[in-house]
Chain A
Protein backbone atom coordinates (compact mmCIF):
# COMPACT_ATOMS: atom_id res chain seq x y z
CA UNK A 1 0.00 0.00 0.00
CA UNK A 2 2.89 2.37 0.82
CA UNK A 3 4.55 1.67 -2.54
CA UNK A 4 1.27 2.04 -4.45
CA UNK A 5 0.71 5.46 -2.86
CA UNK A 6 4.29 6.54 -3.64
CA UNK A 7 4.12 5.22 -7.21
CA UNK A 8 1.19 7.61 -7.87
CA UNK A 9 3.14 10.79 -7.04
CA UNK A 10 6.65 12.26 -6.99
CA UNK A 11 6.95 12.00 -3.20
CA UNK A 12 4.85 12.07 -0.04
CA UNK A 13 5.60 13.00 3.54
CA UNK A 14 5.36 10.80 6.61
CA UNK A 15 2.07 12.37 7.78
CA UNK A 16 0.32 11.64 4.48
CA UNK A 17 1.56 8.04 4.40
CA UNK A 18 0.41 7.60 7.99
CA UNK A 19 -3.08 8.92 7.20
CA UNK A 20 -3.47 6.91 4.02
CA UNK A 21 -2.20 3.62 5.45
CA UNK A 22 -3.67 4.14 8.95
CA UNK A 23 -0.53 2.75 10.52
CA UNK A 24 0.90 3.93 13.82
CA UNK A 25 4.11 6.02 13.90
CA UNK A 26 6.28 3.08 14.92
CA UNK A 27 4.69 0.67 12.49
CA UNK A 28 5.08 2.99 9.52
CA UNK A 29 8.67 3.79 10.52
CA UNK A 30 9.49 0.08 10.64
CA UNK A 31 7.90 -0.49 7.20
CA UNK A 32 9.75 2.47 5.69
CA UNK A 33 13.08 1.33 7.14
CA UNK A 34 12.62 -2.11 5.57
CA UNK A 35 11.59 -0.61 2.21
CA UNK A 36 14.58 1.73 2.36
CA UNK A 37 16.97 -1.14 3.17
CA UNK A 38 15.58 -3.00 0.14
CA UNK A 39 16.27 0.21 -1.89
CA UNK A 40 12.61 0.42 -2.89
CA UNK A 41 12.21 3.91 -1.38
CA UNK A 42 14.43 6.84 -0.46
CA UNK A 43 13.89 8.78 2.74
CA UNK A 44 14.75 12.48 2.87
CA UNK A 45 14.78 14.61 6.00
CA UNK A 46 13.86 18.22 5.26
CA UNK A 47 12.74 21.35 7.04
CA UNK A 48 9.33 22.71 6.02
CA UNK A 49 8.31 25.97 7.72
CA UNK A 50 11.24 25.46 10.13
CA UNK A 51 9.84 22.10 11.19
CA UNK A 52 11.48 18.73 10.47
CA UNK A 53 9.66 16.82 7.75
CA UNK A 54 10.27 13.29 6.50
CA UNK A 55 9.75 12.93 2.78
CA UNK A 56 9.63 9.56 1.07
CA UNK A 57 10.05 8.88 -2.63
CA UNK A 58 9.91 5.68 -4.58
CA UNK A 59 13.01 4.49 -6.46
CA UNK A 60 13.04 3.06 -10.00
CA UNK A 61 13.40 -0.39 -8.44
CA UNK A 62 10.37 0.27 -6.22
CA UNK A 63 8.33 1.52 -9.16
CA UNK A 64 9.05 -1.60 -11.22
CA UNK A 65 8.26 -3.77 -8.15
CA UNK A 66 4.81 -2.12 -7.90
CA UNK A 67 4.20 -2.54 -11.64
CA UNK A 68 5.20 -6.19 -11.41
CA UNK A 69 2.95 -6.70 -8.37
CA UNK A 70 -0.09 -5.29 -10.20
CA UNK A 71 0.78 -7.29 -13.35
CA UNK A 72 0.87 -10.53 -11.35
CA UNK A 73 -2.41 -9.69 -9.59
CA UNK A 74 -4.01 -9.01 -12.96
CA UNK A 75 -2.74 -12.36 -14.28
CA UNK A 76 -4.20 -14.09 -11.22
CA UNK A 77 -7.52 -12.35 -11.78
CA UNK A 78 -7.63 -13.41 -15.43
CA UNK A 79 -6.58 -16.95 -14.48
CA UNK A 80 -9.29 -17.15 -11.82
CA UNK A 81 -11.91 -16.00 -14.31
CA UNK A 82 -10.94 -18.79 -16.73
CA UNK A 83 -11.37 -21.45 -14.03
CA UNK A 84 -14.72 -23.19 -14.33
CA UNK A 85 -16.39 -24.55 -11.21
CA UNK A 86 -16.19 -28.37 -11.10
CA UNK A 87 -19.55 -30.01 -11.86
CA UNK A 88 -20.80 -32.26 -9.03
Chain B
Protein backbone atom coordinates (compact mmCIF):
# COMPACT_ATOMS: atom_id res chain seq x y z
CA UNK B 1 0.00 0.00 0.00
CA UNK B 2 1.69 3.16 -1.16
CA UNK B 3 -1.18 5.30 -2.43
CA UNK B 4 -2.18 7.61 0.42
CA UNK B 5 -5.67 8.26 -0.96
CA UNK B 6 -6.20 4.50 -1.12
CA UNK B 7 -5.22 4.29 2.57
CA UNK B 8 -8.07 6.68 3.36
CA UNK B 9 -10.47 4.62 1.26
CA UNK B 10 -9.48 1.38 3.00
CA UNK B 11 -9.83 3.00 6.46
CA UNK B 12 -13.20 4.53 5.57
CA UNK B 13 -14.67 1.30 4.18
CA UNK B 14 -12.78 -1.23 6.34
CA UNK B 15 -15.91 -2.95 7.68
CA UNK B 16 -17.52 -3.16 4.23
CA UNK B 17 -14.35 -4.65 2.75
CA UNK B 18 -14.32 -7.55 5.24
CA UNK B 19 -15.51 -9.70 2.36
CA UNK B 20 -15.48 -13.10 4.06
CA UNK B 21 -18.49 -11.98 6.12
CA UNK B 22 -20.31 -11.38 2.83
CA UNK B 23 -19.27 -14.87 1.68
CA UNK B 24 -20.94 -16.33 4.81
CA UNK B 25 -24.17 -14.47 3.96
CA UNK B 26 -23.89 -15.76 0.37
CA UNK B 27 -23.64 -19.34 1.67
CA UNK B 28 -26.79 -18.67 3.75
CA UNK B 29 -28.51 -17.55 0.54
CA UNK B 30 -27.41 -20.79 -1.13
CA UNK B 31 -29.27 -22.68 1.65
CA UNK B 32 -32.35 -20.61 0.77
CA UNK B 33 -31.84 -21.38 -2.92
CA UNK B 34 -31.61 -25.11 -2.14
CA UNK B 35 -34.95 -24.88 -0.32
CA UNK B 36 -36.48 -22.97 -3.24
CA UNK B 37 -35.36 -25.75 -5.61
CA UNK B 38 -36.92 -28.62 -3.63
CA UNK B 39 -39.41 -27.06 -1.21
CA UNK B 40 -42.97 -25.88 -1.88
CA UNK B 41 -43.27 -22.15 -2.70
CA UNK B 42 -46.72 -21.36 -4.10
CA UNK B 43 -49.87 -21.66 -1.94
CA UNK B 44 -51.04 -24.66 -4.00
CA UNK B 45 -47.69 -26.44 -3.48
CA UNK B 46 -47.73 -25.63 0.26
CA UNK B 47 -51.26 -27.05 0.62
CA UNK B 48 -50.26 -30.21 -1.27
CA UNK B 49 -47.03 -30.72 0.69
CA UNK B 50 -48.52 -30.32 4.18
CA UNK B 51 -47.32 -28.13 7.03
CA UNK B 52 -44.78 -30.69 8.34
CA UNK B 53 -42.68 -30.62 5.16
CA UNK B 54 -42.88 -26.84 4.90
CA UNK B 55 -41.76 -26.38 8.53
CA UNK B 56 -38.92 -28.87 8.03
CA UNK B 57 -37.70 -27.00 4.94
CA UNK B 58 -37.99 -23.57 6.53
CA UNK B 59 -36.28 -24.91 9.69
CA UNK B 60 -33.33 -26.03 7.55
CA UNK B 61 -33.13 -22.55 5.97
CA UNK B 62 -33.25 -20.86 9.42
CA UNK B 63 -30.49 -23.18 10.70
CA UNK B 64 -28.45 -22.42 7.57
CA UNK B 65 -28.79 -18.66 8.12
CA UNK B 66 -28.02 -19.01 11.86
CA UNK B 67 -24.78 -20.82 10.94
CA UNK B 68 -23.99 -18.07 8.42
CA UNK B 69 -24.58 -15.31 11.02
CA UNK B 70 -22.46 -17.15 13.62
CA UNK B 71 -19.72 -17.63 11.02
CA UNK B 72 -19.88 -13.90 10.12
CA UNK B 73 -19.37 -13.01 13.81
CA UNK B 74 -16.34 -15.34 14.04
CA UNK B 75 -14.96 -13.89 10.80
CA UNK B 76 -15.30 -10.34 12.22
CA UNK B 77 -13.23 -11.40 15.24
CA UNK B 78 -10.63 -12.93 12.89
CA UNK B 79 -10.32 -9.66 10.95
CA UNK B 80 -10.04 -7.73 14.23
CA UNK B 81 -7.25 -10.03 15.47
CA UNK B 82 -5.25 -10.02 12.24
CA UNK B 83 -5.89 -6.61 10.71
CA UNK B 84 -7.03 -4.47 13.64
CA UNK B 85 -10.22 -2.52 14.18
CA UNK B 86 -11.64 0.73 12.88
CA UNK B 87 -14.59 2.63 14.29
CA UNK B 88 -16.86 4.30 11.78
CA UNK B 89 -18.10 7.85 12.15
CA UNK B 90 -21.79 8.39 12.91
CA UNK B 91 -22.32 9.53 9.31
CA UNK B 92 -20.61 6.38 7.94
CA UNK B 93 -22.72 4.19 10.24
CA UNK B 94 -25.96 5.86 9.13
CA UNK B 95 -24.99 5.62 5.48
CA UNK B 96 -24.15 1.91 5.95
CA UNK B 97 -27.58 1.28 7.53
CA UNK B 98 -29.27 3.21 4.74
CA UNK B 99 -27.51 1.09 2.10
CA UNK B 100 -28.39 -2.15 3.94
CA UNK B 101 -32.03 -1.06 4.24
CA UNK B 102 -32.14 -0.19 0.55
CA UNK B 103 -30.75 -3.68 -0.19
CA UNK B 104 -33.58 -5.33 1.75
CA UNK B 105 -36.12 -3.15 -0.09
CA UNK B 106 -34.51 -4.00 -3.45
CA UNK B 107 -35.48 -7.61 -2.74
CA UNK B 108 -38.77 -7.18 -0.87
CA UNK B 109 -40.55 -4.61 -3.07
CA UNK B 110 -40.33 -6.60 -6.35
CA UNK B 111 -40.98 -9.80 -4.35
CA UNK B 112 -44.28 -8.30 -3.14
CA UNK B 113 -45.16 -7.15 -6.67
CA UNK B 114 -44.46 -10.71 -7.93
CA UNK B 115 -46.61 -12.38 -5.23
CA UNK B 116 -49.46 -9.87 -5.68
CA UNK B 117 -49.41 -10.48 -9.44
CA UNK B 118 -49.29 -14.27 -8.90
CA UNK B 119 -52.22 -14.13 -6.44
CA UNK B 120 -54.29 -12.25 -9.01
CA UNK B 121 -53.67 -15.12 -11.44
CA UNK B 122 -51.07 -13.40 -13.63
CA UNK B 123 -47.30 -13.62 -14.09
CA UNK B 124 -44.87 -10.76 -14.60
CA UNK B 125 -43.14 -11.03 -18.01
CA UNK B 126 -39.90 -9.80 -16.43
CA UNK B 127 -37.87 -10.68 -13.33
CA UNK B 128 -38.02 -7.34 -11.51
CA UNK B 129 -35.83 -8.66 -8.68
CA UNK B 130 -32.85 -9.03 -11.06
CA UNK B 131 -33.15 -5.38 -12.09
CA UNK B 132 -33.67 -3.96 -8.58
CA UNK B 133 -30.80 -6.02 -7.15
CA UNK B 134 -28.50 -4.95 -10.00
CA UNK B 135 -29.54 -1.33 -9.49
CA UNK B 136 -28.83 -1.65 -5.76
CA UNK B 137 -25.36 -3.04 -6.55
CA UNK B 138 -24.69 0.04 -8.71
CA UNK B 139 -25.70 2.15 -5.68
CA UNK B 140 -23.40 0.06 -3.48
CA UNK B 141 -20.56 0.69 -5.95
CA UNK B 142 -21.09 4.46 -5.56
CA UNK B 143 -21.05 3.98 -1.78
CA UNK B 144 -18.00 1.72 -1.47
CA UNK B 145 -15.84 3.57 -3.99
CA UNK B 146 -15.49 3.96 -7.73
CA UNK B 147 -12.25 1.97 -7.83
CA UNK B 148 -14.10 -1.24 -6.83
CA UNK B 149 -15.20 -1.89 -10.42
CA UNK B 150 -15.99 -5.57 -9.89
CA UNK B 151 -19.37 -4.43 -8.53
CA UNK B 152 -20.15 -2.88 -11.91
CA UNK B 153 -19.46 -6.25 -13.57
CA UNK B 154 -21.68 -8.04 -11.01
CA UNK B 155 -24.45 -5.44 -11.58
CA UNK B 156 -24.04 -5.88 -15.34
CA UNK B 157 -24.64 -9.63 -14.95
CA UNK B 158 -27.88 -8.79 -13.06
CA UNK B 159 -29.08 -6.52 -15.86
CA UNK B 160 -28.29 -9.25 -18.44
CA UNK B 161 -30.27 -11.78 -16.35
CA UNK B 162 -33.17 -9.30 -16.18
CA UNK B 163 -33.14 -8.81 -19.95
CA UNK B 164 -32.94 -12.59 -20.47
CA UNK B 165 -36.02 -12.99 -18.24
CA UNK B 166 -37.99 -10.83 -20.73
CA UNK B 167 -37.06 -13.40 -23.38
CA UNK B 168 -38.42 -16.15 -21.10
CA UNK B 169 -35.10 -17.42 -19.71
CA UNK B 170 -35.79 -18.89 -17.14
CA UNK B 171 -39.56 -19.57 -17.54
CA UNK B 172 -41.69 -16.55 -16.57
CA UNK B 173 -43.13 -17.88 -13.32
CA UNK B 174 -42.89 -16.50 -9.77
CA UNK B 175 -41.02 -19.61 -8.61
CA UNK B 176 -38.31 -19.35 -11.28
CA UNK B 177 -37.97 -15.59 -10.80
CA UNK B 178 -37.44 -16.10 -7.07
CA UNK B 179 -34.92 -18.92 -7.60
CA UNK B 180 -32.95 -16.87 -10.11
CA UNK B 181 -32.91 -13.75 -7.89
CA UNK B 182 -31.78 -15.75 -4.84
CA UNK B 183 -29.01 -17.45 -6.80
CA UNK B 184 -27.92 -14.10 -8.25
CA UNK B 185 -27.86 -12.51 -4.76
CA UNK B 186 -25.79 -15.47 -3.46
CA UNK B 187 -23.39 -15.20 -6.42
CA UNK B 188 -23.03 -11.41 -5.95
CA UNK B 189 -22.41 -11.84 -2.23
CA UNK B 190 -19.81 -14.60 -2.61
CA UNK B 191 -17.90 -13.20 -5.62
CA UNK B 192 -18.04 -9.59 -4.38
CA UNK B 193 -16.96 -10.70 -0.92
CA UNK B 194 -14.01 -12.76 -2.17
CA UNK B 195 -12.74 -9.88 -4.32
CA UNK B 196 -13.20 -7.36 -1.47
CA UNK B 197 -11.29 -9.69 0.86
CA UNK B 198 -8.45 -9.96 -1.65
CA UNK B 199 -8.29 -6.16 -2.05
CA UNK B 200 -8.27 -5.67 1.73
CA UNK B 201 -5.65 -8.31 2.47
CA UNK B 202 -3.41 -6.98 -0.31
CA UNK B 203 -3.69 -3.49 1.18
CA UNK B 204 -3.08 -4.56 4.77
CA UNK B 205 -0.08 -6.68 5.56
CA UNK B 206 -0.78 -9.46 8.05
CA UNK B 207 1.21 -9.81 11.24
CA UNK B 208 2.90 -13.08 10.25
CA UNK B 209 4.04 -11.73 6.85
CA UNK B 210 5.00 -8.26 8.02
CA UNK B 211 8.46 -7.07 7.11
CA UNK B 212 9.97 -4.23 9.09
CA UNK B 213 10.07 -1.19 6.85
CA UNK B 214 11.54 2.11 7.89
CA UNK B 215 9.41 5.24 7.66
Contacts and interface: CB of A to CB of B under 8 A. Distances in A.
Nearest to B213: A22
Chain B interface residue number, banded: 20 to 34
B9 A8 contact: yes
B8 A8 contact: yes
Interface size grouping (class) on chain A: 20 to 34
A7 B8 contact: yes
A16 B207 CA distance: 10
B9 A19 contact: no
Nearest to B8: A8
A63 to B, nearest CB: 11
Given A9-B11, A10-B88, A22 B5 contact: no
Contacts of B7: 1, 4-5, 8, 20-21
Nearest to B5: A4
Contacts of A10: 86-90, 92
B10 interface: yes
A26 to B, nearest CB: 9
Given A6-B11, A19-B206, A27-B214, A13 B4 contact: no
Nearest to B79: A16
A14 B12 contact: no
Contacts, number: 90
A18 B9 CA distance: 16
A14 B11 contact: no
Interface in B70-113: 83-90, 92
A18 to B, nearest CB: 7
A9 B88 contact: yes
Contact of A23 (B9, B11, B206, B213): B213
B147 interface: no
A23 B10 CA distance: 17
B174 to A, nearest CB: 43
Contact of A1 (B4, B14, B214): B4
B44 interface: no
Nearest to B212: A24
Nearest to A5: B11
28 contacts: A1-B4, A1-B7, A5-B7, A8-B11, A9-B86, A9-B88, A10-B87, A12-B11, A12-B84, A12-B87, A13-B85, A15-B83, A15-B85, A16-B83, A16-B84, A16-B86, A16-B204, A18-B210, A19-B207, A19-B210, A20-B11, A21-B1, A21-B7, A22-B210, A27-B214, A27-B215, A48-B85, A53-B85
The 5 A-B pairs with the shortest beta carbon distances in the complex, nearest first, are A16-B84, A15-B84, A8-B12, A19-B204, A8-B8
Interface of A: 1, 4-24, 27, 31, 48, 53, 55
